[in-house]
Amino acid sequence: MICHSNIKYLYIGKERDIFEEYANRCFEEIIKENLRSKGGMLIAPRAIWLADFLLIVTDKTYTNCLGIAAVNKRSNPYTFRDELYITQIAVKNDYKRLGIGKSMVQELIDNHNCDITCQINDFNTVSQVFFTNLGFEAGSGEDHPYFYRRNYYKSLKKTY
Ligand SMILES: CC(C)(COP(=O)(O)OP(=O)(O)OC[C@H]1O[C@@H](n2cnc3c(N)ncnc32)[C@H](O)[C@@H]1OP(=O)(O)O)[C@@H](O)C(=O)NCCC(=O)NCCS
């Protein structure tokens, strides 16, 4: 398990000059090795450039990028509630199973009081387990079964 004092979180919004630089770095250092064409699970290599912001985990010297979450902010057209949509999340192969992926999602949960959603392909069973263990529920009924949601308002009801 990674020690939290050994990692840093960087939030980089699309409007910042360094967005492109970090997107390029994360693509080279993390996304590329996770592409399906390389035996990984990701099928949309350019998704990070379309994100509203990137949440990046680096080592404590900010030198190496270890994990990335590409996130879009949107208002749900049915509930009118704000939500974060994780379009892509990936951890560098050598750093998997150390809790980095979980810590990125937890960072989003702790700092944004809203629902968090993502879509996971049917073949990506590891990510289905990963998100389910973080309290996400797979879609049902009219929702696509591979659309996962962590319902902030439902958890609030549970809390109070
Ligand atoms: C999904 C992903 C981001 C998880 O990152 P990670 O840092 O390795 O995950 P964590 O170490 O935080 O794991 C948290 C929990 O998820 C589950 N999990 C993670 N990887 C798993 C695996 N390979 N097999 C089974 N369960 C797994 C476990 O329950 C784990 O808890 P545990 O280690 O205490 O058992 C990573 O596997 C990855 O980069 N996958 C490729 C990209 C991808 O498919 N992204 C999702 C679609 S956009």
Residue-wise pLDDT tens digits, 97-141: 999 999 999 999 999 989 999 999 999 999 999 999 999 999 887
- 112 within some domain: yes
Determine the 3-state secondary structure of 118 from DSSP: strand
- 108 within some domain: yes
- 126 within some domain: no
Asked if 2 and 95 count as a contact pair (C-beta separation under 8 A), the reply is yes
Q: Looking at per-residue confidence, does 92 or 159 come out higher?
A: 92
Q: Which of 79, 19, 84 is nearest to 48 (CA)?
A: 19
For residue 160, name the pLDDT band (cuts at 50, 70, 90): very low
C-alpha span between 115 and 76 (Å, rounded): 10
pLDDT tens, position by position, 52-87: 999 999 999 999 999 999 999 999 887 788 999 999
Q: What is the pLDDT of residue 97?
A: 97
Ligand 1, residues 30, 97, 107, 118: which to mutate, most atoms within 8 A of Cβ? 97
Distance 151 CA to ligand 1 centre (A): 20
- 75 within some domain: yes
What is the domain count for the chain? 1
Apex 148 CA angle, 142 and 151, nearest 5: 95
Q: Which residues line ligand 1 (CB under 6 A)?
A: 34, 40-42, 88-91, 96-102, 120, 124, 126-127, 129-130, 133
Q: What is the pLDDT of residue 32?
A: 96
Task: Please determine, for residue 92, whether its predicted confidence score (pLDDT) is greater than 90.
Answer: yes
- 157 within some domain: no
Domain coverage including residue 83: 4-116
Ligand 1, residues 48, 100, 130, 134: which to mutate, most atoms within 8 A of Cβ? 130
Atom of ligand 1 nearest to the CA of 47: 48
- Looking up residue 53, the CATH number of its domain turns out to be 3.40.630.30
- 89 within some domain: yes
